[in-house]
Structures are given as C-alpha cells and as structure tokens.
Amino acid sequence: MTTHVKKASAKSAPAKKSRFSFFAEVVAELRKAHWPTRQEALRLSILVLVVCVVVGAILGGLDWVFTQLFLLLGG
C-alpha cells in the first residue's frame, strides 16, 4: 500500500479579479492588435473567394470524374 504525499506548489493562486476587469483587458488586447486597412481587407477577401472557387471547381471535377468512372464500371 503506497501513500501519496501532496507537494506544495511553487506558484500561488492569482488574486481574484473583478468581473469587469475582463472587459477592460479585452479592450486593451484589441487595441494592441494589428488591424488591416480597407484595401488589405478587400484584397484578402477577394483572395479567399478565388481560392474557394478554385477548390470548389477541383472538387466538383473530381466528383464528376468518379461518378462517370463508377457508372462505367457498375452499370
């Protein structure tokens, strides 16, 4: 029969913060974030749209090829 000994942790629990300090910290972090300009946001949105269309076309083409292949093999 073994006994387990609890060791005292080196770190103490952080002091309890008020509920509203969370929102103040969120605002502070959002101010530190790098926000894209309108031109950057537009360019990146167009890029995402183009990539989605290309990937959709590739997947649609593969689906069509496999459909034709199974129809040819299966009957």
Domain boundaries, the chain: 37-75
**Distance in angstroms (rounded) separating the CA atoms of residues 69 and 75:** 10
Please give the Cα distance from 44 to 53 (Å, whole number): 14
Report pLDDT for 74.
85
Alpha helices (runs of H) in 1-75, residue ranges in sequence order? 21-32, 38-74
pLDDT at 75: 64
- Residue-wise pLDDT for 32-58, tens only, equals 999 999 999 999 999 999 999 999 999
pLDDT at 17: 75
Predicted pLDDT of residue 16? 73
Instruction: Centre a 10 Å sphere on the Cβ of residue 71 and count the other Cβ atoms it contains.
Output: 9
The Cα 75–Cα 73 span in angstroms is 6
Count of all residues that appear for the chain in the document:
75
pLDDT tens for each residue of 2-20 = 666 666 555 666 667 788 8
**Per-residue pLDDT at 70 exceeds 90:** yes
